Amino acid sequence: MGTLVEQLPVKAIIGVLTAEPPILPTVYQRLTDKFGPLDYTSELLPFTYTNYYEAEMGQGIQRQFISFKNLIDAGTLSDKKLFTNQVEQEFTEENSPRRRVNLDVGYICMAKLVLASTKDHAHRIYLSNSIYAEITLRFYHKTFQPWEWTYPDYRSQSYINIFNHIRTLYREQLNS
């Protein structure tokens, strides 16, 4: 029988997609009310990896990553995803299914980047409340590395640089 070990808290991150950057301060206020203050905000990056979201969100979609100062229990990831889904709904156009913001919530720990999803797949583990978890990247040889299922944008060096930076912030938090 293995010995149970208390798990370290993890660093919550959110990948934000929008074609309307002016709404982000209002979205971020809603998120910080729940997650606590931001400690990192990436630059806005053009989202050119797929046109999957254009019909719903419009053209000129941009991505931004944020992380939060307050560390969380990894076991609360499904609750965090349910909350971000609610925030997305709050920013949906009235009388329309058109989302103005897409929020990909997850966490970074020393070994990996995990994202929450509402979609099941062979590489996802069921958590609760119709939410699944995916190990999107692993930390190996001093940097994040993709898997065969990792989304193309999350494989990009610019994203990996961001995640390495957030992991450094997390490591510093654990050491202080």
Q: What average pLDDT values come out for the chain (176 residues) when binned by 10 residues?
A: 91 98 98 98 95 91 98 98 97 83 98 97 96 98 97 96 98 96
| DSSP, res 75 | G
pLDDT of the residue at 77? 98
CA 58/CA 62 separation, integer angstroms: 11
Return the sign of the alpha-carbon dihedral for residues 59, 162, 11, 29.
negative
The domain segmentation of the chain, as residue ranges, is 10-175
Give pLDDT, residue 96: 72
Which CATH number describes the domain made up of 10-175?
3.30.70.260
The model's pLDDT over 73-103, given as tens digits with 9 standing for 90+, comes to 999 999 999 999 999 999 997 777 789 999 9
Q: What is the rounded CA–CA span in Å between residue 72 and residue 35?
A: 9
Does the pTM exceed 0.75?
A: yes
